[in-house]
Structure 1
Amino acid sequence: MIPTPDLDHISSRDYEHVYEPAEDTFLLLDALEKDAEFLRNEIKPCICLEIGSGTGCVSTFLGKILGDGTALLICTDINPYANAITNKTGCHNSIQLEPITTNLVNGLLPRLYHSIDILCFNPPYVVTTSDDLYSSKNIIEKAWAGGIDGREIIDKALPLVNELLSDKGVFYLLLISENKPNEVREIMKNNYNLQSEILFSRLAGREKQLILKFWRNTR
């Protein structure tokens, strides 16, 4: 078992500014751990990217899975405070991360076109109104508010996945049942020829969380 990254360096005051790891975070960790041998031995990644890294827990865990330190681990977040914490989390756990403050992947394309071997996204997925999504000035709310069907940020990211993934690349996406995951799978298949499976699902209180795994139909 791969240990969860040590987050003792993050204070309660820090969590006023950055999303605290919760059940959704740990479900994504479990999915990556389940695929650990596949990622190490078949994907053998050169470049990994996490969109919306928050504390950096997921990318740090991925770095521990890969182990040899040869993969570039890029993390993006719109919240500069989150990127500072992400950097500290990597250092605290002896994993080198490369945090970038940007919205989704603005500025990374076309340079990273079809270059990402492992892509992870735990998006803002909670069902809210569009007004809640765009009018909120609270940075923590922006980490979870997803707009109509919880899909407004997710739907902006889906076309970017096709541009980012390498031929051997895999994409791990966390959704809840209200996000209509089967519809997301159909969009990715019909529009981008990306195959998928539900890698994990779990109840967190009344919320059903799922990890979808996507890959190109070239293997």
Structure 2
Amino acid sequence: MGLDDRRDREPDVYQPAEDSALLARAACDRVGENELVLEVGTGSGFVAGRIADETDARVIASDVNPWAVRQARRTDVETVRADLVAPFRDGTFDAVVFNPPYLPTDPENEWDDWMERALSGGEDGRAVIDPFLETVDRVLAPDGVVYLLVSSLTGVDDVVGRAGEEGFSAVAIADESFPFETLTVLELLR
């Protein structure tokens, strides 16, 4: 599915944008042959679909939003409804890919719907990133890696520091600047 493909879109699902394309490119460049990959928060299924189409990896996608699961399944992405990595077995995935909700949002201006959940990272932009970093290690295979998209609005150094607290080293492997933010893909290794 291309960035501009509007068929079969669900209105309450995050659709691919520049952040999705950047994460997909970075992951496709690094995912190895025959790896098992989990994309957390798949939204439309764009990133998972690109990884599946452009590598020899098996990709499983997850999202807490039932409409996202439905849309991703329509693009032939193997998708389950899940909150972060909760239902997955320990030590399963060679790579975990995540484009989290990262926009800092004033609690007074949140509207509590599926699109808000896809975009809002809470007051500091890390309301979903921090719990993800606390739990992702459990589902990684021994040499597993995480590809995490982060915005300068969220504080890349803060996310790197938090990842370090959870036992990960972080390297920026891709970035793209826009007038209002810089997006960075971090590779997290244990």
TM-score (norm 1): 0.79
Number of residue pairs aligned between Structure 1 and Structure 2 = 190
Tell me whether 1:88 sits opposite 2:68 in the alignment. Answer: no
Shift of 1:159: 1.1
What is the aligned partner in structure 2 of residue 18 from structure 1?
13
Structure index of larger Rg: 1
Q: 1:98 to 1:132 in 2, by over 3 A?
A: farther
Separation (CA, whole Å) in 1 of partners of 2:91 and 2:120: 29
> Which string of whole-angstrom CA distances, capped at 9 and with x for unpartnered residues, describes residues 178-213 of structure 1?
222222222222432x22200111113311111001
Q: 1:7 to 1:117 in 2, by over 3 A?
A: farther
Shift of 1:7: 7.0
Separation (CA, whole Å) in 1 of partners of 2:155 and 2:165: 16
Among the aligned pairs, what percent are the same residue? 29
Residue number among 34, 39, 47 corresponding to 1:58 in the alignment: 47
What is the aligned partner in structure 2 of residue 196 from structure 1?
170
Structure 2, gaps ≥5 residues long: none
Give the SS at the match of 1:74: strand
Structure 1, gaps ≥5 residues long: 91-96
Give the SS at the match of 2:101: coil
What is the aligned partner in structure 2 of residue 107 from structure 1?
87
Amino acid at match of 1:58: V
Q: 1:16 to 1:9 in 2, by over 3 A?
A: closer
Contact map agreement 1:174 1:209 (CA 8 A) in 2: yes
What is the aligned partner in structure 1 of residue 143 from structure 2?
168
Amino acid at match of 1:49: L
TM-score (norm 2): 0.90
Q: 1:189 to 1:6 in 2, by over 3 A?
A: closer
Separation (CA, whole Å) in 1 of partners of 2:3 and 2:175: 25
